[in-house]
Amino acid sequence: MNVNVTITPETEEDFNGITRLHNLAFNQTEEGELVKRLRKTSKFISELSLVAKIEEAVVGHILFYPIRIKKDTGECNSLALAPMSIHPGYQKKGIGSSLVKKGLDTAKRLGFHSVIVLGHSTYYPRFGFKPANRWGIGPPFEVPDDVFFAIELVKNGLTDCGGTVEYPKEFNML
């Protein structure tokens, strides 16, 4: 990365910048609205809502939000990586990779065992994500196998977690 980028947990002064960033990067308002709604819930963890900034301007954001994987008997706690975006003028400079890596490190430090992501098939494997069906984990809707991933943050973090991911109702807007 040639530009001077800082990555920190979000603070209130970043909220509007985060919304604007997602609107721009996704060219629609759903992801920005999703972050606003999730932020109001009790499960939201500010430390897992990371912003990348260049000279105080928000150029990247990633959110990891607690979810459950429902099994026939019981459930496993996990995190959903969503949404994530980088300002179109700053993509392909490694900022997204830095956000993913810092987020995974933070999630592990906070005691989470795994992360789930629905996303670009060629992007997430570089961080160690593998198709979630390897652990018998699937989404609650139809998607191709090569866009639904999971990663273990600790050894055997997904052992015996085969089941269906349960997203909070706020995700229904996507």
Ligand X SMILES: CC(C)(COP(=O)(O)OP(=O)(O)OC[C@H]1O[C@@H](n2cnc3c(N)ncnc32)[C@H](O)[C@@H]1OP(=O)(O)O)[C@@H](O)C(=O)NCCC(=O)NCCS
Residue from 15, 23, 24, 26 that binds ligand X (CB under 6 A)? 26
| Contact between 37 and ligand X per CB under 6 A | no
Is 85 in contact with 26 (CB distance < 8 Å)?
yes
Cα distances (angstroms) measured from residue 96 to each of 111, 122, 145, 170 = 23, 14, 23, 24
Taking the least distance from each CB to ligand X, the nearer of 48 and 95 is 95
Is 112 in contact with 78 (CB distance < 8 Å)?
yes
Rounded to a whole number of angstroms, the minimum distance from the CB of residue 161 to ligand X is 22
Taking the least distance from each CB to ligand X, the nearer of 66 and 96 is 96
| Contact between 20 and ligand X per CB under 6 A | no
| Contact between 136 and ligand X per CB under 6 A | no
Taking the least distance from each CB to ligand X, the nearer of 53 and 70 is 53
Within 89-108, which residues bind ligand X (CB under 6 A)? 91-97
| Contact between 119 and ligand X per CB under 6 A | yes
Instruction: Please tell me the count of residues contacting ligand X according to CB under 6 A.
Output: 16
Is 34 in contact with 173 (CB distance < 8 Å)?
yes
Rounded to a whole number of angstroms, the minimum distance from the CB of residue 81 to ligand X is 8
CA nearest neighbour of 38 among 9, 67, 6, 76? 67
Q: Give me the phi and psi of 143, to 5 degrees please.
A: -145, 155
| Contact between 109 and ligand X per CB under 6 A | no
Is 78 in contact with 69 (CB distance < 8 Å)?
yes
For tokens 């065992």, name the residue: 113
| Interface segment toward ligand X; rule CB under 6 A; list 5-13, 116-124, 129-137, 165-173 | 116-124
Within 71-90, which residues bind ligand X (CB under 6 A)? 84-86
CA nearest neighbour of 149 among 169, 109, 120, 171? 120
Q: What is the DSSP letter of 72?
A: S
Residues that bind ligand X (CB under 6 A): 25-26, 84-86, 91-97, 119-120, 122-123
